[in-house]
Amino acid sequence: MEGSVKDKAQDAVRDLGMPDETKTWPDDIYRSFKKNNVRQVCYVPDGGHARLISQCIADHELITTSLTTEEEGIGVIAGAWLGGQRSALLMQSSGVGNCVNLFSLLAACTFPAVIVVTMRGQWGEYVPWQIPMGQATRGCFELMGFPIIEMDDAKAAEETMQAAFQMAYGGGKSVGVLISQRMIGAKTFSK
């Protein structure tokens, strides 16, 4: 295997064109997972979450599950909670629409959940099919009664996540954390 997990994460961050001042937010989110006793992290592979996913995989105290589709993560969240563990689900905004039906499970059973979403279809988006779901993501969460916390300041990432965990595990809510595309950087292609 060429390169370490850390090297691959750094390459992923570099490839995204993420502004230098925002490169620490994945580290801050990872620290918040540890601080809030998250034991399971599930994810659909995503460039915006690449660094955070790599950190979670490298941590042998965390159970990480790579999903084939986002709605599988709702089952992981429910199972983790029923098994006495805290979890987090990582996905891109394009996957939120896949989960609306299963969000009803979280709402009806009042399972606490923290769902961290990297946004597309916002800041400088060049892929036209990312825009509709990027614009509808907030509405999908609101439709199911989720509180939404927007993360648009990299310096406030750990504080933002702490608020989400407090609402979820203190207040018994499922919470959507939306990470602005401005923070992750817009993908570009050059000739």
pLDDT tens digits for 6-59?
Answer: 454 444 444 444 445 446 899 999 999 999 999 999 999 988 899 999 999 999
pLDDT at 187 over 80: no
Per-residue pLDDT, averaged over 169-181, amounts to: 93
Q: Would you list the domain boundaries of the chain?
A: 5-184
Q: What is the pLDDT of residue 126?
A: 66
Going by C-alpha positions, the residue among 105, 76, 110 that lies closest to residue 91 is: 76
* Average pLDDT for the chain: 85
Distances (CA, A) of 160 to 44, 58, 99, 154, 174: 22, 24, 23, 10, 15
pLDDT digits (tens, 9 = 90+) for 118-137: 987 676 666 666 766 777 78
- For the domain made up of 5-184, give the CATH fold: Rossmann fold (3.40.50)
